[in-house]
Amino acid sequence: MIEGVPRGLGYIMMMHHVLPEGASGMPVDKKLNITPAKLESFIEQASYKYEFIHLEQVPDRIKHPTKKKFMVFTFDDGFQSVYINAFDILKKHHVPFTIFVSTGFTGIRCNTYQATGPHELGLSTEELLEINACPLATIGGHTINHPRLPLLSTSKIHEEIFININNLKTILNKTINTFAYPYGYYDKNVLNVIHDLRDDLKVCVLASGGVVSTMSNNCFLLPRLNLDDETSIHKLSHWRNTYMGFQ
């Protein structure tokens, strides 16, 4: 390893819906969906190159890098299709995963941020509890109503994040250690609220940015990479090796 050159350590993959081709609820933006078949084949291929770890293990991996790169699987918003179409695949392949839940959408049709197209249901409380009981699963915060946080007043930002985390804590009877910024948007006020929750929150993730590297020194702003039907392991390796000279 060359001194001072950032080194790629792994990826935090981001998904939303998991629907087969032609299913109702399919988002207009294809990047927001992965088919169950693609998810399973991606997991099978990735398992040769990457170690699948829990999101909460990432800070330790940044401090103590290993030779094998890691991969984390995350799902945003808390759509029912993750329970119906992805949960069994993740269990079958022993893949740890995190679902970031917008609690205002629990059990209702929730993708209000998609301007057009049909809507998919949010996870019910029962489904959330069943997923949470699986040792592979982590449930993280994602606000109540999925707003663009920097557009809100400080008190509203506080409410969106605190009440979401507290609702999840109450439903699941456990500490919530992870959070995803809706749309990846944050500013100084948002980070101040996150900082106030530092006794609970250990890892917060963005909606873009790609590879986690030895330069990723703020665990409240970790990058992610979208995983959809167009994502290939081959392209991932190529990008990791050329992007900013990562080794």
Q: Name the site residues for Zn ion (rule: CB under 5 A).
A: 76-77, 182
Can you tell me whether residue 246 is helix, strand or coil? coil
Query: For residues 186-223, b (16+ Cβ closer than 10 Å) or e, as one string?
Result: beebbbebbeebeeebbbbbbbeebbbbbebeebbbbb
To the nearest whole angstrom, how small is the minimum distance from the Cβ of residue 68 to Zn ion? 30
Cβ-based nearer residue to Zn ion, 114 or 214 = 114
The CA distance from 69 to 52, in Å, is 9
170 phi and psi, to 5 degrees? -70, -45
Cβ-based nearer residue to Zn ion, 87 or 100 = 100
Residue facing Zn ion at closest CB distance: 76
Cβ-based nearer residue to Zn ion, 77 or 228 = 77
To the nearest whole angstrom, how small is the minimum distance from the Cβ of residue 206 to Zn ion? 12
Cβ-based nearer residue to Zn ion, 76 or 228 = 76
Nearest to 27 by CA among 64, 74, 66, 81: 81
The CA distance from 19 to 2, in Å, is 43
To the nearest whole angstrom, how small is the minimum distance from the Cβ of residue 42 to Zn ion? 20
To the nearest whole angstrom, how small is the minimum distance from the Cβ of residue 158 to Zn ion? 19
Cβ-based nearer residue to Zn ion, 32 or 211 = 32
Task: Note the Cα 99 to chain centre separation in Å.
Answer: 6
To the nearest whole angstrom, how small is the minimum distance from the Cβ of residue 78 to Zn ion? 9
Dihedral class, residue 138 (left if φ above 0, else alpha if ψ from -120 to 50, else beta): beta
